Amino acid sequence: MAKLRILKVGDSTLRKVCRPVDAITPRVLTLLDDMAETMRAVGGAGLAAPQVGVLRRIVVIEVEEGQLIELINPKIIAYSGEQESEEGCLSIPGRWGITRRPMHVTVRALNRKGETFDITGSGMLAKAFCHELDHLDGKLYIDCALRMLDTE
C-alpha cells in the first residue's frame, strides 16, 4: 500500500465530476487500500478519489475506528431530518465551517466484490456520506457552508 498525496483547494481536479467505475479491477482494489491508508495516516474520517487525483466514483469512510466503509459508484437514495454542525476537509486544511446536512442518509453502492448494497448512517456518518459524495460531483463543503469559522 502507498500513502497518496491529497490535493488542496485550488486544484482544478477537485471541481470535476467523476466517472463511474465500470469494472472492479486490481487497480480499483489497490486504490481503495491506498485511500484507506492515506485517510488513516492523516486522521481523516473520509476520502474521495478526486482528492487523490483520481476522477472515479470511489469513497472510503471511517467515522468509527476499525469500521471502514468502501463505496464504489455511490448514490444517495434516501435522506431525512436535518443537522447543523462543524465540517472540515482534508483538502481544505485548517478551515472549518458550519453546514446543514441530513440527519439520516441511505447510500446504495458497490462493494469491492462488485455487489450492490445499501447502508444507512445517522449523525456524523450521514454527514460524511454527503460530504464525500459531494466530492464526486466537484463540490466542496465550503460551497454549502452556512458560515465559516475563524480558525486563527
Catalytic residue set: 132
Distance CA 14, CA 78 (A): 25
Residue with cell 466530492: 135
Q: Under a CB-based contact definition with an 8 Å cutoff, are residues 52 and 18 in contact?
A: no
Give the burial string for 54-69 (b: 16+ CB within 10 Å, else e).
bebbbbbbbbeeeeeb
Q: Under a CB-based contact definition with an 8 Å cutoff, are residues 38 and 31 in contact?
A: no
- What strand order describes the sheet that includes 92-101? 83-89, 92-101, 147-149
Distance CA 141, CA 135 (A): 9
